[in-house]
Amino acid sequence: MPPQQLTMAFVMDPVTDLDVAGDTTFVFMLEAQKRGHAVLYVDPGDLTIEQGRPAARVTPVTLRAEKGNHVDLGDARTVILDDEVDVAFQRKDPPVDAAYIAATQILGTCQKTLTLNHPESVLAFNEKLFAVHFPDLMPITSVTKNIADLRQFMEARGGEMIVKPLDGKGGEGIFHLVEGEKNITSILEQSTQFGTRAVMAQEYLPAIREGDKRILLLEGELLGALLRVPAPKEVRANLHVGGTAEKVELTAADLKIIERVGPVLKRHGLFFVGIDVIGDRLTEINVTSPTGVQEINTLDNTCLEAKVMDAVEAKFGAGSGKL
């Protein structure tokens, strides 16, 4: 038992729909419950301001690692976060749309509740654009809504590129475009919503065939990593679109990326982050709801959620309060 029982609220997608076998938020909640902490579920739309103070309609939950029978819901009630919630996790999946922004901004008004990740930093650092702060670590990249510029970028990259939306998740909306295909302009029209929405274009990295490394960082330090290998006819390595999780040893280039990125994450209160590396190139910095904990646990015979909860308890015990 921890020295102090905490009340932890998880702002997330519906708790009833969790994938017990693969969801990172689920094992965070389960670990908190094992330690005697009170675990609350919060729908992002149920975050409110009451008389100038951040509040939420919360539902106590009891969890178990049983597929199809993983949660019991208690009686919902409305609480003032700073009065009744010690730690709040913002674990809602993208897109970072208006509803997401509103919920995160409400969390950002907390004065006493420890909020993870830091709301202002989550909103400040787009998951695709954050990596642009480290241009020498990235693939050659362009961000634009101009279709002609995208075609020129592709031509300059030998007639091949990757295009991805700035607000997607889990590989959604990612295309590998090769000169000569007949639907390139149509794909770019759809991706940019006919030239009205910027997208990210990157040089194609052949190393993707060997896999995409997901590296988890806790307080800017290495927590764990896995290799996500794409299916034979798929360019995306995301596990939910058929990628395979494999054990991985990090290279000197990977450690250099962590050394550069880690202190920036910690400085901005980005407590739990997943970075993606293809070959020796940093492609994304995931700050909203990074995943991979359960897969790494299986591959490395470890329990990463215990390390995360140790860090949460230490942070709260140190009197961090609002980051």
Please say if 164 is a catalytic residue: yes
Residue 140 exposed, middle or buried by CB count within 10 Å (0-12, 13-18, 19+): middle
Please say if 313 is a catalytic residue: no
Which one is catalytic: 35, 91, 213, 236?
Answer: 236
Q: What CA–CA distance (Å, rounded) separates 216 from 185? A: 36
- Name the pLDDT band for 98 (thresholds 50, 70, 90): very high
- Name the pLDDT band for 3 (thresholds 50, 70, 90): low
Quick: pLDDT tens for 23-68: 999 999 999 999 999 999 999 999 999 999 999 999 999 999 999 9
Please say if 267 is a catalytic residue: no
| Sign of the C-alpha dihedral computed for residues 210, 240, 127 and 271 taken in this order | negative
Q: What is the pLDDT of residue 167?
A: 85
Q: What CA–CA distance (Å, rounded) separates 239 from 31? A: 23
Please say if 214 is a catalytic residue: yes
**Taking the model in full, what pTM does it have?**
0.92
Residue 177 has phi, psi (to 5 degrees) of: -105, 135
Please say if 209 is a catalytic residue: no
Which one is catalytic: 92, 157, 169, 228?
Answer: 228
Domains of the chain: 7-121+305-316 (3.40.50.20), 140-204 (3.30.1490.20), 207-286 (3.30.470.20)
What is the SS3 assignment for 254?
helix
Q: Which two tokens stand for residue 230?
A: 């794409």
Rg (CA), the chain: 20
Quick: pLDDT tens for 251-278: 999 999 999 999 999 999 999 999 999 9
Please say if 315 is a catalytic residue: no
| Sign of the C-alpha dihedral computed for residues 289, 139, 226 and 273 taken in this order | negative
Residue in the structure block whose two tokens are 């993870």: 116
Q: What CA–CA distance (Å, rounded) separates 118 from 205? A: 32
The CA-CA-CA angle for residues 173, 176, 181, to 5°, reads 115
